[in-house]
């Protein structure tokens, strides 16, 4: 079972964005990261938390490091799902969902932390290629989208909604060097962090050029009564439904006994 799990996790590393996988060979720098745990249990009173990730740069150029030319970006990506954005419009005086657009496999949550604002780390083109940052992650529409003129509008709405609800976050300054080549990054887990396998991705940039990347899986498992209920509702729905009905029958029946007046 453990071996199977390892193989599964290995698969996740290879599922990293294409550009990040194709590491250029002529750089000597290597990036290493570690987290204290590969599994986080979340109880029902969870109100969000900070996850700290430690890392080190190996094979660095001491000169460049001293000049602060190295920059690090750490992202915590939630599980990916196809996601639909809907737009309401007024039709005959009533507000109705008229248009929609579905984006392919976007993360359910996304927390970004970096040494400085990512737009000052590398040119936007580079960030777009690698899909780093809320404004650069790929939002690929599925299905017919007409002439695509409303693509920008839906993408902007998606990013704005995800950021205002707090499931997408960024913290320029969340990555700090604690010694010359050791760094510490803190990423935020939102209160409604989704269940499943999250991936911590770290990227190293040297003077605006992408140098190395590393990824680690992080399993988020919710625990507690509420989670048991959610699991029951999704895994044995028939049993769950019958239980809900029986609960109602017993409540109604008990009430008729307790409050019987004849």
Partner 1 sequence: MTVYLPIAELSVNILIILGMGAAVGFLSGMFGVGGGFLITPLLIFYNIPPVVAVATGANQVVASSISGAITHFRRGTIDIKLGTVLLCGGLAGATLGVWLFALLRRIGQLDLVISLAYVILLGTVGTLMLWESIIALRRASKNETVTLRKPGQHNWIHGLPLKMRFKKSKIYLSVIPVATLGFCIGILTSVMGVGGGFIMVPAMIYLLRIPTNVVVGTSLFQIIFVSAYTVIVQATANYTVDIVLAFVLMIAGVIGAQYGVRVGQKLRGEQLRALLALLVLAVGIRLAIELVIPPKEIYSIVSAGRGF
Q: Which residues bind partner 1 (CB under 8 A)?
A: 44, 79, 81-90, 93-97, 100, 106, 108, 154, 157-158, 160-162, 192, 194, 196, 226-227, 229-230, 233-234, 237-238, 240-245, 247-249, 251-253, 255-256, 259
Is 212:73 a contact under the CB 8 Å cutoff? no
Name which of 174 and 217 has its Cβ closer to partner 1: 217
Q: How far is the CB of 10 from partner 1 (least distance, A)?
A: 24
Which residue number, 14 or 92, has a Cβ lying nearer to partner 1?
92
Residue indicated by tokens 């729905």: 237
Q: Which is nearer to partner 1, 154 or 203 (CB)?
A: 154
- Would you call 110 exposed, middle or buried from its count of C-beta atoms within 10 A (0-12, 13-18, 19+)? buried
Cα of 49 vs its chain's centroid, Å: 14
- Parallel, antiparallel, or unpaired: how do β-strands 110-114 and 175-177 relate? unpaired
Closest residue by Cα to residue 130 from 65, 60, 215? 215
CB-CB contact of 104 with 82 (8 Å): yes
Give the separation between CA 252 and CA 259, rounded to whole angstroms: 11
Shortest spacing between CB 15 and partner 1, in angstroms: 17
Provide the minimum distance between the beta carbon of 141 and partner 1 in the complex, in angstroms, as a whole number: 14
* Residue 162 or 201 with smaller CB distance to partner 1: 162
Task: Answer left, alpha or beta for residue 138, where phi above 0 means left and psi between -120 and 50 means alpha.
Answer: beta
The angle, 0 to 180 degrees and rounded to 10, between the axes of the packed helices 225-235 and 237-258 is: 120
CB of 247 to partner 1, least distance (A): 6
Query: What is the smallest separation between the CB atom of 132 and partner 1, expressed in angstroms?
Result: 21
Q: Output 44 or 176, the one with its CB closest to partner 1.
A: 44
Q: How far apart are CA 145 and CA 141, in angstroms?
A: 7
Cβ proximity to partner 1, 60 vs 154, nearer residue? 154
Neighbours of 196 (CB within 10 A): 16
Contact between 189 and 221 under an 8 Å Cβ cutoff? The reply is no
Which lies closer to partner 1 via its Cβ, residue 172 or residue 224? 224
């Amino acid at each position: 079972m453990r071996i199977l799990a390892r193989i599964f996790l290995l698969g996740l590393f290879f599922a990293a964005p294409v550009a990040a996988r194709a590491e250029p060979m002529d750089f000597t720098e290597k990036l290493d990261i570690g987290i204290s745990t590969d599994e986080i249990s979340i109880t029902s009173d969870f109100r969000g938390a900070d996850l700290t990730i430690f890392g080190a740069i190996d094979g660095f150029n001491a000169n460049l490091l001293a000049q602060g030319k190295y920059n690090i970006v750490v992202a915590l990506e939630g599980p990916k799902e196809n996601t639909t954005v809907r737009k309401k419009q007024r039709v005959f005086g009533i507000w109705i969902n008229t248009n929609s657009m579905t984006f392919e496999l976007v993360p359910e949550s996304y927390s970004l932390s970096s040494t400085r604002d990512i737009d000052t780390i590398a040119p936007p083109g580079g960030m777009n290629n690698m899909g780093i940052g809320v404004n650069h992650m790929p939002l690929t529409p599925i299905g017919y989208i007409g002439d695509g003129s409303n693509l920008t509008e839906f993408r902007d709405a998606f990013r704005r909604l995800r950021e205002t609800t707090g499931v997408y976050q960024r913290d320029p300054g969340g990555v700090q060097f604690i010694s010359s080549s050791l760094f510490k990054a803190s990423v935020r887990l939102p209160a409604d962090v989704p269940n499943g396998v999250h991936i911590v991705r770290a990227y190293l940039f040297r003077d605006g050029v992408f140098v190395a990347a590393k990824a680690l899986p992080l399993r988020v498992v919710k625990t507690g009564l509420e989670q048991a209920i959610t699991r029951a509702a999704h895994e044995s729905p028939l049993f769950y439904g019958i239980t809900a009905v029986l609960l109602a029958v017993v409540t109604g029946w008990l009430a008729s006994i307790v409050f019987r007046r004849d």
